[in-house]
Structure 1
Amino acid sequence: MLHCEDALEEDENEDEDATREWAPGRPGASIIGPAYHHLDAEETLSNEVNKEEELGPFTACPLPAEYRQVLVPWMREVCNARALSPATFFAAVSLLDRFLRASGEGATPPSLLQLVALTCVAVAAKLEQQQCASELLSLARDENGNLYKADDSRMMEIHLLDMLGWRLRTPTIYTFTSLFLHRVVNRPQDGQVVPPGTEAHFRELVLRLAELAVLDSELTSVSYSSLAVACILVAETEIKGGQMHASLKTVESLRTVPGLRDLSNLSAPVQRLYCLYKSLTSSSR
């Protein structure tokens, strides 16, 4: 956290992210991850789906889109500049959206958004990497252009934790994409989602799509588990020629995941994500 306090240490080992050792983008991870044990993997997935259900239905982030479309990319730049992990970035965005939902529309003045965002990044860095991020405070300024004081950031941190009910270890889109990737790569008998030899490229593509998903304000009302399925499906589409067709195997492969929501309602988020990806790739040519 911003001041490296130990208030969260009691809970740090009670609910460790099961994706920590093999999630995409982590140094040292092999292309296919560790040995796959189906029953253990299914239990982990079921637990994460249940945690998501306990949070209640996802609703659109109340922050105006024009603010969020600046704030979240800025958070990504901060994470990249400080060499923070993808897991930290996705956790920070989840904390931000949850805080804004809990606070309600208009409750957070625009002048405080930078401080809120940096607090989310700092807390996420503590959770995901056990890393102190006190230097992040120098990146935020108040409405008069002055640097925030230590007391300001400490109060914001406490306010954030109170609004979230001190419930910080909740699944993110990164949690689900990691778990789903581990499953589809190691369970071709459920449907050949990932063509042999494309595993590394497939993982990179899924991570890119997950970033696009959390950067987009229109997708904030979609659960992370559903967005993760959409990321896998769009990645499969691209790997297999760039056209949506009936022979795609993502839904078939993930249909039996314990507790996963009805996958028949994926059309809208898949189309949105696919269009975002195509727009990005077209503009980069």
Structure 2
Amino acid sequence: MDLLACIEHQHEVYAEKDYTILKDPRVLLNLYNQERRFTPNKNYFLEVQTEIQPFMRQVVTTWMHEVCEEQMCEDQVFPLAVNCMDRFLCLCPIKRNQLQLLGAVCLLIASKLRSTNSFSMEILCAYTDYSVSHSAMVAWELLVLSKLKWNVASITGFDYIDQIVEMFPWGAESNLLHRHARTLVSISYTDSKLIKTPPSMIAAACLTSAIRGLRLRSTNQAVNDICSIASIKISDLETVVRVVDEAVERSVPKSPPSTPEPEPKLQGYESPQHGPNTPTEVENIYF
């Protein structure tokens, strides 16, 4: 087996947590100070784009999320890709048939920055059912980078999760908290209502939703700590939490109705149809 084959077959190894960084409050302060540079500052559906509608963004970001899940890439790739897409759409009007191309290009760029194994153009073209060509991706990659002035190492909600969790004792109450909060961050980036929301607020809302879903013993204290460290009002936090929970509920496929025991049918009689199922609760989502 040659060297290239050995590299392809080796397992990914992730670095251990650096608590010197995770417990240093200066890191959070720098994130707060820099996040405004990377937060979309306008509703581009009304001010820039003439053909792109919110539901189109929903479809494309959901597709991007599914690609990331199927390729099992790092959690931070998807939020970064969506952030790059939103910032580009604030600057440059495009046609509706170019939106998936833009999403694929942003996935390519984000994976180069945040993934150990970046997407190949061939894979992304295949995921578009070859409606996007290799040459178009090459051209649009340069276009996106130039429009964003190569400032693509954006701060996203993902960057806050570990920093906040590791600073408080309640962060150790459940080993699922990191996983749940990161999953909620990814889902929240598919909702167009949160385009202009700072990533610190998205992270705070996702952490709050995850903490409540896991029913931590220190839930009330944790929510107060999150509001304090993020310098946000509880009323503002609750507003974003509701949007996140709604996005999560939409992302969960409705379970099919259970099949009842067969009953003897009377000739000419049809049994009444069952009503709609109760929506799945947030804490029942598989992460």
TM-score by length of 2: 0.71
Distance of aligned partners of 1:57 and 1:66 in 2 relative to their CA distance in 1, 3 Å threshold: closer
Kindly provide the amino acid, as one letter, of the partner of residue 46 in structure 1.
L
Match of 1:42 among 25, 39, 46: 25
Aligned residues between the structures: 237
1:88-103, aligned counterparts within 5 Å? Answer: 88-103=77-92
Of 94, 100, 111 in structure 1, the residue corresponding to residue 97 of structure 2 is 111
Cα gap change, 1:176/1:152 in structure 2, threshold over 3 Å: closer, same or farther?
same
User: Could you tell me which of 150, 161, 168 is aligned with 2:145?
Assistant: 161
- The amino acid across from 2:126 in the alignment is L
- Does the CA-based 8 Å contact 2:125-2:134 persist in structure 1? no
Which residue, 48, 65, 75 being the options, matches 2:54? 65
One-letter code of the match for 2:150?
W
Amino acid at match of 2:63: W
Where does structure 2 lack aligned partners over 5 or more consecutive residues? 1-11, 46-51, 254-278
Matched to 1:208, the amino acid is T
Q: Percent identity?
A: 20
Match of 2:121 among 128, 134, 141: 134
- Return the offset for 1:37: 5.7
After superposing the two structures, state which structure 1 stretch, 62-71 or 261-270, moved more. 261-270
| TM-superposition CA deviations, 1:5-35 (whole Å, max 9, x none) | xxxxxxxxxxxxxxxxxxxxx96567xx443
CA offsets 1:127-164 (integer angstroms, 9 cap, x no match): 112535222342376xxx86544432222111101211
Superposed CA RMSD in Å reads 3.1
SS at match of 1:215: coil
Q: Which amino acid aligns with 1:80?
A: E
- State the shift of 1:215 in Å: 1.4
d(CA) in 2 for partners of 1:241 and 1:261? 22
Matching residue's letter, 1:167: N
Name the amino acid aligned to 2:29. S
Higher relative contact order, chain-length normalized (CA < 8 Å, sep 6+): 1
Q: Do the aligned partners of 2:121 and 2:137 also contact (CA within 8 Å) in 1?
A: no
Structure 1 length-normalised TM: 0.71
The question of 1:203 aligning with 2:203 is answered no
The equivalences for 1:16-35 within 5 A come to: 28=14, 33-35=17-19
* 1:251 equivalenced with 2:198 (yes/no): no
Match of 2:166 among 182, 206, 209: 182
